[in-house]
């Protein structure tokens, strides 16, 4: 019994030198750089691509390589092509080889957006204003399009002049064919275009989608601020000895120590004003209680000035203020009278 197997293609002619050179170059780039970004080539003009080649030359190398050749080079560099990488490397894609942190690359690409002329269907990124002044356009059918957009014009020195600044598109508004042509005539390029990054091949081992690399700076700032507040509160609660914590806890401890010393009657420079104020308050309270009962003693109560009276009350501890508010008891009055004789 004869079993027929599948026919296997065997190349009889050598590979073209150009393709061999591309594969060898790609293999060297894969060994040289840790990260390979994929970006979409569909609809990307050669001017934008060349501009990014120039702007990103400090960070790596931008290369347009056919997916099939890239996979061959990848297999030569790393011994095989992971399934997720093989699935992504297809269609109209190009590559950016770099050793810069991938999250930083996303930021760099966004900051190096390239201006281009508006096309019908684009969204206005901001209010687009046609400024007053001369244009390089000669009078002709274009004047009717200026009029359709309500842009006041006049002919001067053989050129079309804009009479005053005019807003032709609001932010977010779709740009029509008339607006695009007028902007082209006056030389305004309002659209910023950047490489449409798809993802990054991470050190030849895995593929990371670009959505995982986009960092919301504002959100991270809020998280760091909240973490700083929580850390400060925790440090205050456990009295962790740092400069920020000690600046708070030492004054608070000093206040509590002064209040405790005043309550115990310990005479210091800080407690003496409080003790004197409390003694004066107690003496006045005693005199006020004794004077009606023993007029022959000739006791009189001295009232302190409002400002002088308010200050000691603010500094005196809570217990002293409660004692002053409640007044002396009958036992205190009896004991004070006994000490007079």
DSSP 8-state class, residue 297:
G
- The pLDDT > 90 percentage for the chain reads 38
Beta bridge partners of 98: 35, 60
Reported as a single tens digit per residue, the pLDDT across 17-68 is: 899 999 999 999 999 999 999 999 998 888 899 999 999 999 999 999 999 9
Among 163-172, 224-233, 266-275, 324-333, the range scoring the smallest mean pLDDT is: 324-333
Q: Which is the CATH superfamily of the domain at 122-191? A: Ribosomal protein L10, N-terminal fragment, domain II (3.90.105.20)
**C-alpha radius of gyration, the chain, whole number:** 43
DSSP H or E segment with residue 52? helix 46-55
Beta bridge partners of 161: 134, 154
Return the CATH number of 17-113+194-215, one of 3.50.50.60, 3.30.70.1730, 3.30.1330.10, 1.10.3430.10.
3.30.70.1730
Reported as a single tens digit per residue, the pLDDT across 130-180 is: 999 888 888 888 888 888 888 999 888 888 889 899 999 999 999 999 999
316 φ, ψ to 5°?
-65, 145
Reference 186, options 148, 143, 157; nearest CA is: 143
pLDDT value at position 275? 87
| Ranges assigned E (strand) in 92-205 | 93-98, 114-116, 128-130, 133-134, 153-156, 159-162, 166-169, 191-193, 197-202
Beta bridge partners of 37: 96, 200
Tell me the C-alpha distance between 73 and 86, whole Å: 12
Domain ranges within the chain, ordered by starting residue: 17-113+194-215, 122-191, 219-288
Tell me the C-alpha distance between 24 and 98, whole Å: 18
Pairing of strands 114-116, 191-193: antiparallel
């Amino acid at each position: 019994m004869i079993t027929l197997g599948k026919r296997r293609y065997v190349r009889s002619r050598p590979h073209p030198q150009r393709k061999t050179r591309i594969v060898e170059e790609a293999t060297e780039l894969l060994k040289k750089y840790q990260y390979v970004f994929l970006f979409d080539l569909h609809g990307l003009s050669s001017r934008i691509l060349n501009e990014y080649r120039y702007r990103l030359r400090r960070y790596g190398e931008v290369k347009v390589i056919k997916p099939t050749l890239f996979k061959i080079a990848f297999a030569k560099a790393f011994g095989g092509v992971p399934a997720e990488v093989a699935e992504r490397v297809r269609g109209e894609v190009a590559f950016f080889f770099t050793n810069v942190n991938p999250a930083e690359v996303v930021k760099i690409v966004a900051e190096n957006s390239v201006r281009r002329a508006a096309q019908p269907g684009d969204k206005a990124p901001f209010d687009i204003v046609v400024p007053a002044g001369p244009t390089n356009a000669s009078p002709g059918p274009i004047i009717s399009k200026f009029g359709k957009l309500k842009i006041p014009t006049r002919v001067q020195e053989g050129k079309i002049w804009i009479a005053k600044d005019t807003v032709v598109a609001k932010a977010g508004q779709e740009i029509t064919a008339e607006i695009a042509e007028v902007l082209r005539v006056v030389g305004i390029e309002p659209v910023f275009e950047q490489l449409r990054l798809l993802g990054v091949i991470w050190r030849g081992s895995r593929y990371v989608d670009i959505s995982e690399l986009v960092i919301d700076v504002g959100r991270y700032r809020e998280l760091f601020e909240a973490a700083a507040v929580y850390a400060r509160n925790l440090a205050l609660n456990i009295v962790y000895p740092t400069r920020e914590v000690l600046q708070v806890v030492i004054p608070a401890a000093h206040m509590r120590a002064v209040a405790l010393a005043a309550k115990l009657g310990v005479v210091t420079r800080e407690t003496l004003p409080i003790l004197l104020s409390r003694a004066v308050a107690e003496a006045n309270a005693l005199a006020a209680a004794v004077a009606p009962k023993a007029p022959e003693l000739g006791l009189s109560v001295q009232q302190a000035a409002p400002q002088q009276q308010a200050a000691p009350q603010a500094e005196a501890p809570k217990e002293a203020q409660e004692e002053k508010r409640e007044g002396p008891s009958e036992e205190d009055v009896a004991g004070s009278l006994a000490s007079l004789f």
